[in-house]
């Protein structure tokens, strides 16, 4: 196990599945104490066991992230468990797709609450403390459809476009105090959450230079790079991790 992040506590939201699970494992492998959150306690326990069996340190915190109060409660629990939070990965997200006219006001509110409001209030809770300690790293998980205008992706893509602007605004706000804020922009990635898309995911991926869907570990590797000191001069960046899809 590497020691790059030893002494650090990393909060990974949505760490029970897909990209978040792989990120929790990757950060624990760098020596971080990982606090992973999600709603599904069974899946949370499984990720914690996998990390501990590999010699890492992890705890699960159950959190249904539905508003600013639930974001604050998660930050409080993460501090209790980890002592302090040095790294925040805003990964938990939902991605309903479909024609604009088919989506309801409830869909709109759910997407913007999970994808924008909760990350906003988690950063509001945790970044000032990182700034007071003079160091910290935040990575927001966006998507290639925050940049590409694609049919059926208006609601989801617009929520993540907001996250990308927040990434830059937070880099400006907290960067001078030693807190680096960046984002990854994944392409289609095989996860529990994208299983419903079936072959559609492969079709989406086939248009890019890599011509294939990503494994969650490939996105996690980029997140792990961005939070570690080797990325010390990278701030406010949106890193495409999409097999080149945004480039062509």
Give the footprint of ligand NAP on this chain (CB under 6 A): 14, 16-20, 38-40, 43, 63-66, 91-95, 114, 141, 143, 186, 188-189, 191-194
Contact 7, 29 (CB under 8 A): no
CB neighbour list of residue 232: distance below 8 Å, 6 or more residues apart? 180
Of the candidates 60, 95, 120, 156, the residue annotated as catalytic is: 156
Q: Which residues contact 88 (CB under 8 A, 6 or more apart)?
A: 10, 11, 122, 123, 126, 127, 136, 137, 138, 139
Specify the residue, 64 or 229, whose C-beta has the smaller distance to ligand NAP.
64
Beta-carbon neighbour count of residue 115 at 10 Å?
26
SS3 (DSSP) at 34 = strand
112 tagged catalytic = no
Least distance between ligand NAP and beta carbon 93 (Å): 2
CB 17 within 8 A of CB 240: no
In angstroms, what is the minimal distance from the CB of 3 to ligand NAP? 27
How near is the Cβ of 7 to ligand NAP at its closest, in Å? 26
DSSP secondary structure letters along 75-133: HHHHHHHHSS-SEEEE---------GGG--HHHHHHHHIIIIIHHHHHHHHHHHHHHHH
What is the Cα–Cα distance from 202 to 60, expressed in whole angstroms? Answer: 32
Of 162 and 189, CB closest to ligand NAP: 189
Nearest residue (CB) to ligand NAP, 183 versus 228: 183
Nearer to ligand NAP by Cβ, of 136 and 186: the residue is: 186
Nearer to ligand NAP, 29 or 186 (CB): 186
User: Shortest gap between Cβ of 39 and ligand NAP (angstroms)?
Assistant: 3
CB of 216 to ligand NAP, least distance (A): 6
* Catalytic residue positions, numbered: 156
């Amino acid at each position: 196990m590497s020691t790059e992040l030893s002494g650090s506590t990393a909060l990974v939201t949505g760490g029970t599945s897909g990209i978040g699970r792989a990120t929790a494992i990757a950060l624990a492998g760098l020596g971080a104490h990982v606090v992973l959150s999600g709603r599904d306690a069974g899946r949370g326990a499984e990720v914690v066991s996998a990390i501990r069996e590999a010699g890492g340190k992890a705890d699960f915190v159950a959190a249904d992230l539905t508003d600013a109060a639930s974001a604050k409660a998660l930050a409080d629990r993460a501090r209790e468990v980890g002592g302090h939070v040095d790294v925040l990965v805003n990964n938990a997200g939902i991605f309903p797709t479909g024609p604009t006219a088919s989506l309801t006001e409830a869909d709109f509110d759910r997407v913007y609450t999970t994808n924008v409001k909760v990350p906003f209030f988690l950063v509001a809770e945790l970044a000032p403390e990182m700034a007071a300690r003079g160091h910290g790293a935040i990575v927001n998980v966006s998507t290639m459809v925050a940049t590409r205008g694609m049919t059926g992706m208006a609601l989801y893509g617009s929520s993540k476009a907001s996250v990308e602007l927040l990434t830059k605004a937070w880099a400006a706000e907290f960067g001078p105090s030693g807190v680096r804020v960046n984002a990854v922009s994944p392409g289609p990635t095989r996860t529990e959450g994208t299983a419903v898309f079936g072959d559609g995911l492969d079709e989406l991926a086939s248009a890019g230079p890599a011509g294939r869907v990503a494994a969650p570990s490939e996105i996690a590797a980029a997140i792990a790079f961005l939070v570690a000191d080797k990325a010390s001069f990278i701030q406010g960046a949106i890193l495409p991790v999409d097999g080149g899809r945004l480039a062509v």
